[in-house]
Amino acid sequence: MTTGFPLLTSIILLPAIAGALVLLIPRAREDTLKAVAYVGAVGTAALTIWLMVKFQLHNPGFQYVSQHQWIKAFGISWKVGVDGISLFLVVLTGVLFPLAMLGASPKRDLKSYLGWMLLLEAGCLGTFLALDLFLFFLFFEIVLVPMYFLIAGWGYENRVYAALKFFIYTLAGSALMLVGMLALVFLHQRATGQLTFDVVKLAQHTGVAAATARWLFLGFTVAFAVKVPLFPLHTWLPDAHTEAPTAGSVILAGVLLKMGTYGILRFGLYLFPKAAVDMAPLLLTLAVIGIIYGALVATVQKDLKRLVAYSSVAHLGFIVLGTFAFTTQGLSGGILQMVNHGLSTGALFLLVGMIYERRHTRQIDELGGLQKPAPVLAAVFTVVMLSSIGLPGLNGFVGEFLILIGTFITHRWWAVVATAGVILAAIYLLWAYQRVFHGKPEGDNATIRDMTARERLVMLPLVGMIVFLGVYPRPVLDRIQPSVNQLVSHIEGATKTHQPAVASGENK
């Protein structure tokens, strides 16, 4: 579906324009800087919510498509579109950025901080909306720069090391994707005579032999596996999370990691369906290892923020598990869990940041008894922690349940082993909560202040969405499933014919 008003282009450009305006405002005018940045971020959030409201419920194809020729000689265009797979990742990005910016302010250089945050938001939105491979790669790489400077400039003691490790890991993975992308495009040109980076046209007929497709799929998947991160490519994540500023950790967990799982869905499964099926046992095994490994390592962490970071390795493993189940339940649960993880883990990082601001420590053994002096903080932490565990009635349960059911249908033993991750999540999160909030408060713990009005305002929409998606996820699933069904049919068709299936995916 195409429209006259370039809604998706506006969603990408609004934070970029706000970031450019921030650069033009003198550093001394901090109130003006904040006003411009918040208007840009909140305005973007409003546009993403409007997109969700106007999204056609039963349309499985790409909607609000906007395409303009960019580099004609190479078949590159500005093409953006949204379907049920990307819709809620766009909404999640739009909502999380203003909450992260409002929930955690930098101690210095506000101008540069807000400028990088807004550029990061534009890059993330472009990544989820791009339907041209070159455009996607451009946005995928742009995101690295502001995230590097946010970690290195406003992080903690080992921030430079963590930022450099994040940058090198992701850049190395992207190099493989670039090679695979160019190979796919030129092989498609040789087979069809058409040079294009259009994802939909490439999916119609890749012109790639089965053996070659496996190598290309592997190149794309390694790049996305680094971003997820999937075991054993995960080692950059705990360092980046631990050293990043609070807002950086929120966005890193809530949005940037989803660029990896989304990339596997949008490009790995869509462009190379037969290769994805052939490689599924390997990816499922790595996902299950990541689930168990992440949970076990989280259990022994002494730093509260690092514990939450390792929990992300486990939770993202569930999403990869659902993706390679190749069932409607598994894929729908995986997409829903991307949103759930962004809400729950983003909220956890905000809460850990609040604790650190009050106590200037994240060491679990130096905390204790915080429930008595800060009952509201403890109550909010309880709800968010239980949602991360997957308690029925909260958002985490719905996604994990669908993933495990969907995986059990096609890959039973992987699903059985993965259920241990649910049990382990309850162990490390409940144990951490007990040590931080229960007991008798001593010393500075006894005088810690409770959540402020601003902090409660930030957490209210996150807790509200956590409860709503746990009680009534149907509005989200109804918008996800048509596109998922189309993708499943695309994969099944390719598997039966051993040829890339035809799936236009675009309704005009």
The whole-number pLDDT of residue 192 equals: 82
The whole-number pLDDT of residue 3 equals: 56
Write out the two tokens for 59.
């349309």
Instruction: Give the phi and the psi of residue 64 in degrees, each rounded to 5.
Output: 55, 40
Does 506 fall in a domain?
A: no
Does 507 fall in a domain?
A: no
The whole-number pLDDT of residue 98 equals: 93
The whole-number pLDDT of residue 4 equals: 62
The whole-number pLDDT of residue 497 equals: 59
Q: Which residues pair with 69 in a beta bridge?
A: 77
Which tens digits make up the pLDDT trace of 35-92? 999 999 999 999 999 999 999 888 888 999 988 888 888 888 999 999 999 999 999 9
The whole-number pLDDT of residue 37 equals: 92
The whole-number pLDDT of residue 404 equals: 92
Q: Which DSSP helix (H) or strand (E) runs through 64?
A: strand 63-71
The whole-number pLDDT of residue 227 equals: 84
State the Cα angle at 256 between 250 and 262, rounded to 5°: 135
Rounded (10°) CA dihedral 19, 25, 27, 29 = -110
Does 332 fall in a domain?
A: yes
Write out the two tokens for 251.
């966005």
What phi-psi label fits residue 193: left (phi over 0), alpha (psi between -120 and 50 degrees) or beta? left
Does 261 fall in a domain?
A: yes
Q: Which DSSP helix (H) or strand (E) runs through 227?
A: helix 210-227
Question: Is it true that the peptide bond before 229 is cis, omega within 30 degrees of 0?
Answer: yes
CA 221, 227, 229, 232 dihedral sign is positive
Residue 504, SS3 per DSSP: coil
Does 179 fall in a domain?
A: yes
The 10 Å Cβ neighbour count of residue 185 is: 23
Please list the ranges in the chain whose pLDDT falls under 70: 1-4, 206-207, 497-508
Domain that holds residue 20: 7-497
Number of domains in the chain: 1
DSSP 26: -
Q: Which long-range contacts (CB under 8 A, 24 or more apart) does 44-47 make?
A: 44/11, 44/14, 44/15, 44/94, 44/97, 44/98, 44/121, 44/125, 45/94, 45/95, 45/97, 45/98, 46/94, 47/7, 47/10, 47/11, 47/14, 47/94
Instruction: Give the phi and the psi of residue 391 in degrees, each rounded to 5.
Output: -70, 130
Does 1 fall in a domain?
A: no
Does 504 fall in a domain?
A: no
